[in-house]
Chains A and B, each alone.
Chain A
Amino acid sequence: MILDIQINNCDFILHCSGAMYWTQQRMLLISDVHLGKVSHFRRHGSAIPGQAIYRNFEKLDAVANYFSPEKICFLGDLFHSTLNREWHLFEEWAARTAVPLMLVAGNHDIISPHKYEALGVRLQSEWQLDGFLLTHHPEERTGLYTIAGHIHPAVVLGGMGKQALKLPCFFRSPQQLILPAFGEFTGTYVLQPKKEDMVYVITKEDVVPVTA
């Protein structure tokens, strides 16, 4: 279900949900949840099964219970679009989770900052912490190791007998780590790793490092 890795002498635990726990900071990092996407579709006349709305909150509960973090930081695209009624579900979730929440805003995060502030969510465009840069869009900055989202990375695996698999992954390169999208009902984008990259694919139950 989990995999321990180290980056620049810090310990991280990768979780098969796509979340990542930063042990020293006791902080849970989650990227690209895209809350409200199902409601958004339904509001525009596309009858996506409404039950799917609850799944993201179940996943959030599960991963918060698993790590019991002291704080949770969302690496952007927490909400998919404009305000809709899923906001109430998020409010309820925030109340029962009862730890400080932070949002590094992404391109989809267009809900008014006042709404977040009212809920006690700290909103910022990026966050530098202990030699790491937490941001939504991947970027390389001298002297800092980037942890980002945005891409929804996936990788294609191949094997004998023309086997092929496409799986979402944590995508690690020398200067940055890109988290997979946490949200249900989000797509992926296939990246092609280079020699110096490391890839950890996620399945429903496992995080598996991929061999070159």
Chain B
Amino acid sequence: MNREQLFNIAHHWFEQQGWKPFSFQVQAWTAFLQGKNGLLNAPTGSGKTYALWFPVVLDYIKSNPDYKTKHKPGLKAVWITPLRALSVEIKQAAERVANDLGTGLTVGIRTGDTSSADRSRMRNKMPDLLVTTPESMQLMLASKGYKDIFKTCTAIIVDEWHELLGTKRGVQVELALSRLKVVAPKLRIWGISATIGNLQQAMEVLLGPTPGKPENAEMIKAHIDKKINVISVIPEKMEAYPWRGHMGLHLIDEVAAIIKKSRTTLIFTNVRSQCEVWYQALLDKYPEFAGEMAMHHGSIAKETRQWVEQAIRDEQLKAVVCTSSLDLGVDFAPVETVIQIGGPKGVARFLQRAGRSGHRPGQQSNIYFLATHAIELAEASALRKAVKDTVVEDRVPYLNAWDVLVQYLVTLAVSDGFNPDEIYKEVKSTFCYQAMSIDDWQFCINFITRGSQSLQAYDEFKKVEAGEDGRLKVNSKAVAQRHRMQIGTIVGDVMMNVKFLGGGYIGNVEEGFISKLNPGDIFIFAGRKLELYRIKNMEVLVRRAEPDAKAQHASWLGGRLTLSAQMSELLREELYTANTDTMSAEMQALAPVFLRQRKESIVPGDHEFLIETFKTREGYHALFYPFEGRFVHEALASLMAYRISLLSPISFSLAYNDYGFELLSDREIDMQQVLDNNLFTPVHLHHDLQSSLNATEMARRKFRDIAVIAGLVFTGYPGKMIKAKHLQSSSQLIFEVFRDYEPDNLLFQQAYRETFEHQLEEGRLIMALERIQRQEIVWKQCEKPTPLSFPIITDRLREKLSSESLADRIKRMTANYMK
């Protein structure tokens, strides 16, 4: 069959549905059938699944003209999705095409939810099309005979690649692809990505770096212009606006009004606890929403989430309070309005959320922005500018992630074993490991075969062993089983299942939260008031509590988000307008706050760098306002604390938010000396940062993930879990052992490098310091906290840095005695 005939089949199918294929879909079919690899840049809900499932099926028809009568067995294509919740939707789309065209192709799902019975059935008879996750993909590489399964595969499609890029799961995908390219000679690789700043690089990471312009790769863009309206929710009276806080409940009436005038509204919150609180607050104040409102976040039972998703589609719900759990995936046509509570921190995420509304052709997307504290209002107008100019951030891919490589090598050793020379070439061909040296590689091999340094006499290290043929293999069944259990790169707090006494799974919460509760305590979770009955085998048994009982909300630590570089810049520009007469509506609304701020301090303009100092009961506060986003402030705070601590012995507690940072101490900082010594200089930055890192806990925390991924810490068997506290303390201990005995270990150094590259963003830091150098420093000695300082000094998540001896510090401290 030639391409025209194949396309006729496709066009005919679209006609039957009453649709017309988009040009990007046809472009994708063409490129795929030409045997090209590529990246499709298309937003969620644009028909991207048909852009790539179709050519997979057409390609099968092409090479099997008698496809209607004779089924050719074997895996044809793999679709990788970052969220297993999306897999059903993707399977259905594939099945629709496969069945309607009468191909007899089967579609299967293999994720962490797949039962072991189903998995072994799959091993015997693979479906033709497989939907899976990066972790399950690795698990397949860890099973014997994987080469036979994949050798017939013609395509790997990586969905939502922008979500994976910039994470270690993305590195997992890179490694799996490097192997499958060799195993399956006819393989094409396609990625699907929403708009990000570095699309070209995203393609390079997916396909592997090639010198010059890759001829066989194509970037296809779906030009779907949709108008997005950003509307700030500004209250009548600004005086009532809280200076800090992250809930935003003071605007509940405004939110209810928006819900009432729209068909379906999605209310996005940034963290799960905020989601719970909003859901409850809306129900309490507007009981009429009961039955028409639901909640959706990652800790709620899968069945409940699926029910909510279906109810949105069926237009049964007026409002859904959710988290990033509804960022991705499926279309929700009835959604007319989106409300964002609190700063979304990034433009890409904001656009994605805005795009959840107005799916009908010709409709606009409406997104309301609700600032949770006063200064956050400035983010609203910054966001509007970002949306107008489509300023989108980059996702920075990982480089030299040795922990993921070590895990991958053990994975290969667990299945069929591997030939190091062969795999070296493949690994080296990936984006992540393109700069890997022979020594680096040898380290990784040593690490898995000899446990790094080996002490010949007493050592009993055992993991991967070399066979007579030189292949590296895991021989121990126990090692293999432990490794399979551990595959993955997401390290989180241990989650505990919450169940009713009489049975019925509700969802899961972090162990850290539950461990603070006693039996009989009431907490709110998944919108219900629950009484803790007891904890047994990693299960939290609860029963329904009285509706009027006093309860606390379940909390999740979760990752705190930070402003991207692009957002920070827009925000700075926005704040700098405070001293001009070209203020946006949001900035004008902030007038009362600025008035307060100016009482003792200033609202800095673009040529000013503001420092505030004041004393409270807690000690001496020094606040600095670079407006560079949380991560840069984290780095700047430890840098400044470190440099000041060199002047004289002192101990600091550090706090930061997206606007500035605080150094808190029990003695006064000599600020004049800080200014006289030009401590903001970019000179010796790298060295000073490195030293300050040693003095704080940042790298130590990064090491925790690395230790788990690299298999240094075993997280436990299912049902026989080691408690998270144990994992935490052991990775802490392991960090110390490495620091004391093997500081040149690449995995140990990776913790520092990652802190530099992914957390501290040294490049941004240098630019920030250079900018500060050009600004005039304005040091205000205040009587009491200012509105700008308030959200920072009340933050409880803090870093520590000290240049005093332990003994000196202990003398001024007291034990936390039981009252």
Contact = CB atoms under 8 A, between A and B. Distances in A.
Contacts of A46: 451, 711-714
Contacts of B457: 85
Contacts, number: 171
Interface in A73-89: 84-86, 88-89
Contacts of A45: 451, 461-463, 476, 479, 482-483, 711
A44 B462 CA distance: 6
Interface centre among B459, B742, B810, by most chain A C-beta atoms within 10 angstroms, is B810
B810 A210 contact: yes
A205 B805 CA distance: 10
A210 B483 CA distance: 45
B807 A206 contact: yes
Interface in B451-469: 451-455, 457-463
Interface string B723-756: 0001001101110111011100100000000000
B815 A51 contact: no
A211 interface: yes
Nearest to A40: B460
- Of the four ranges (under 10, 10 to 19, 20 to 34, 35 or more), the interface on chain B belongs to 35 or more
A155 B453 contact: no
A192 B730 contact: no
Main secondary structure of the interface of A (DSSP, over half): loop
B806 A203 contact: yes
B738 A49 contact: yes
Given A46-B713, A158-B814, A165-B810, A53 B737 contact: no
B304 interface: no
A164 B463 CA distance: 40
A51 B455 contact: yes
Interface in B50-94: none
A163 B730 contact: no
A55 B737 CA distance: 10
B738 A201 contact: no
Nearest to B734: A48
Nearest to A212: B817
B816 interface: yes
Contacts of B620: 161
B553 interface: no
A95 B664 CA distance: 53
Contacts of A210: 810, 813-815
A83 to B, nearest CB: 11
B709 to A, nearest CB: 13
B544 interface: no
A159 B817 contact: no
Contacts of A167: 806, 810
A204 B810 CA distance: 13
Contacts of B712: 46-48
A161 B619 contact: yes
Contacts of B812: 159-160, 163
Nearest to A211: B814
Given A160-B618, A163-B653, A185-B733, A192 B460 contact: no
B388 interface: no
B447 interface: yes
A193 B817 contact: yes
B798 interface: yes
Nearest to A86: B458
A64 to B, nearest CB: 21
Interface residues of A, number: 51
Interface string B143-157: 000000000000000
A150 to B, nearest CB: 16
B737 A158 contact: no
A195 interface: yes
A49 B741 contact: yes
A43 B462 contact: yes
B800 interface: yes
A163 B452 contact: no
A52 interface: yes
Contacts of B451: 42, 45-48, 50
Contacts of B285: none
Nearest to B806: A203
A185 B736 CA distance: 8
Nearest to B729: A187
B816 A53 contact: no
A194 B818 contact: yes
Contact of B742 (A51, A156, A193, A208): A51
Given A52-B741, A86-B458, A163-B653, A157 B463 contact: no
A146 interface: no
Nearest to B739: A49
B453 A49 contact: yes
Contacts of A17: none
Contacts of A206: 806-807
Interface in A139-193: 155-165, 167, 184-188, 192-193
Contacts of A31: none
Interface string B776-817: 000000000000000000000010100000110111111111
A89 B818 contact: no
A212 B814 contact: yes
Interface in B491-546: none
- Listed from nearest, the 7 A-B pairs whose CB atoms lie closest are A161-B619, A160-B666, A47-B451, A161-B666, A45-B463, A159-B813, A49-B741
Interface of B: 447-448, 451-455, 457-463, 476, 478-479, 482-483, 618-620, 651-653, 664-667, 711-714, 726, 729-730, 732-734, 736-738, 740-742, 745, 798, 800, 806-807, 809-818
Given A53-B455, A187-B730, 11 more contacts: A42-B451, A47-B452, A48-B451, A49-B738, A50-B451, A159-B814, A161-B664, A163-B809, A192-B816, A193-B815, A203-B807
13 contacts: A42-B462, A49-B737, A51-B742, A85-B459, A155-B815, A158-B814, A160-B666, A163-B800, A163-B812, A185-B737, A193-B817, A195-B817, A203-B806
